[in-house]
Amino acid sequence: MMNQDHHTPILSGFMLGNHRVTTPVILSPMAGVTNWPFRVLCEDYGPDGLYVAEMITARALVAGNPKAFRLTRFAPSEKFRSLQLYGVNPAIVQQAAAMIVDGNLADHLDLNFGCPVPKVTRRGGGSALPWKTDLLQDIIHRVVAVCQPAGIPVTAKIRTGIDDDHSTMREAATIIEGEGCACVTLHARTTAQYYGGHSDWSKIAELKQLVSIPVIGNGDIWSAEDALAMVEQTGCDGVAVGRGCQGRPWLFADLKNAFAGSCQRVSPSLGQVCQVIMRHARLLVDFYDGDETMAVHDLRKHIAWYLKGFPVGGHTRAAFMSCQNLADLQRQLDALDPQIPFPDALSDKPRGRTRYAKKVHLPYGWLDSRRLNNQERQSLYESDVEDASY
């Protein structure tokens, strides 16, 4: 433990429109993970960061899909409400943005141009989209036009490119800045890299030199020390953390401490982790309107992450996967030894998805031109999906 008194902040935050993000840390949107129960846990550990909801498909929102609307909900404790939209049809994305503004559903809107999932890129969406600079500009222009009068800052999240021969980040960031976005987040991988290997932080440094809006660096932050290293190596204005906080919401306390210049870190015992799991489960029950089965099913992946590295046998882990309600869950948690210390050796190691793409899927002829032709426009807009989950 260190003396907490006199620390010099390493980085004091960045502006998102008129809103100051005091701790320059973003919970990176993760489909199926960053719903409000998880965000609340993270924000409790690290207040003053930015906690972004998982992506919502614009078409689903416009179609009034109840699952999409569930994802727009926030907990009362979430004072700054941050949503992310995905879509390829500019008119639909604009309509979804207008619904968000008119319904006062968010205080910040992020646009997803980074998803690498085949079902998305094969339709020209996510990380495939910035290749078509006119389409990218059209979407951003329309969304900013809807959000700006309401004082809602718009941001965009991109990858470096499609593969090593088809970089997109420079043109994309120039458009993002030119169209009035408040900041840009760069996941420093190509679509082809998917989640494999290490992200190329030099690309974040390159982007920082190119644009004047805040640049948020993203990729492979597994510990507070990684976050400090990214800022030092790239000059980025903040960091976005995805997989590193899976099963470790307390990472946001470490990040807050690190940026405030403190080396205090959180290292919970298994008993303390069990308390977090139970709290997470109760919040999920609220999220699913009292449905305990849905809550404990959603929790399964989180439990695997929470228990990662602890000496808990396969039999016990399997028993968690068959829990059907909170009582089952409590019984399993009670059977664990609360005294077991946190496996610190694992705390800065990769977790979650870590593989390369087998192949990048794109619409036919996509790479032939940086602009959309009429035929592409027609087939793309028609196939804009309602379900574009990761």
Ligand X SMILES: Cc1cc2nc3c(=O)[nH]c(=O)nc-3n(C[C@H](O)[C@H](O)[C@H](O)COP(=O)(O)O)c2cc1C
The annotation places the binding site at 29-31, 84, 157, 187, 242-243
Q: Which amino acid is at 352?
A: G
| Radius of gyration in angstroms for the set of CA atoms belonging to the chain, rounded to a whole number | 21
**What's the min distance (Å) between Cβ of 31 and ligand X?**
4
Site string for ligand X, 220-259 (x = CB under 6 A): xx-------------------xxxx---------------
Phi, psi (degrees; rounded to nearest 5) at 21? -90, 100
List the structure tokens of 13: 């935050």
**What's the min distance (Å) between Cβ of 73 and ligand X?**
16
Report which residue's Cβ sits closest to ligand X: 242
Residue in 7, 34, 12 with CA at minimum distance from that of residue 24: 12
**What's the min distance (Å) between Cβ of 221 and ligand X?**
5
Residue in 30, 99, 68 with CA at minimum distance from that of residue 385: 68
96-155 residues in contact with ligand X (CB under 6 A) are 112, 114-115
**What's the min distance (Å) between Cβ of 369 and ligand X?**
26
Q: Which residue number, 324 or 354, has a Cβ lying nearer to ligand X?
A: 354
Residue in 264, 252, 242, 273 with CA at minimum distance from that of residue 352: 242
353-372 residues in contact with ligand X (CB under 6 A) are 353
300-329 residues in contact with ligand X (CB under 6 A) are none
Separation of alpha carbons 112 and 157, rounded Å: 5
Q: Cβ distance 94 to 142 under 8 Å?
A: yes
List the structure tokens of 234: 């790239």
Q: Which residue in 352, 361, 370, 383 binds ligand X (CB under 6 A)? A: 352
Separation of alpha carbons 83 and 361, rounded Å: 27
Q: Is the dihedral of CA 246, 250, 251, 253 positive or negative?
A: positive
Q: Which residue number, 184 or 274, has a Cβ lying nearer to ligand X?
A: 184
List the structure tokens of 278: 């139970």
Separation of alpha carbons 72 and 269, rounded Å: 34
Q: Which residue in 13, 24, 29, 124 binds ligand X (CB under 6 A)? A: 29
**What's the min distance (Å) between Cβ of 281 and ligand X?**
20
Q: Which residue number, 117 or 380, has a Cβ lying nearer to ligand X?
A: 117
Q: Which residue in 33, 92, 207, 360 binds ligand X (CB under 6 A)? A: 33
Check 115, 181, 245, 323 and give the catalytic one: 115
Q: Is the dihedral of CA 187, 193, 196, 198 positive or negative?
A: negative
**3-class secondary structure, 242:** coil
Q: Which residue in 31, 85, 156, 323 binds ligand X (CB under 6 A)? A: 31
Our answer to whether residue 115 is catalytic in this structure is yes
Q: Which of the residues are catalytic?
A: 115
**What residue ranges bind ligand X (CB under 6 A)?**
28-33, 54-55, 84, 112, 114-115, 157, 187, 218-221, 241-244, 352-353, 390
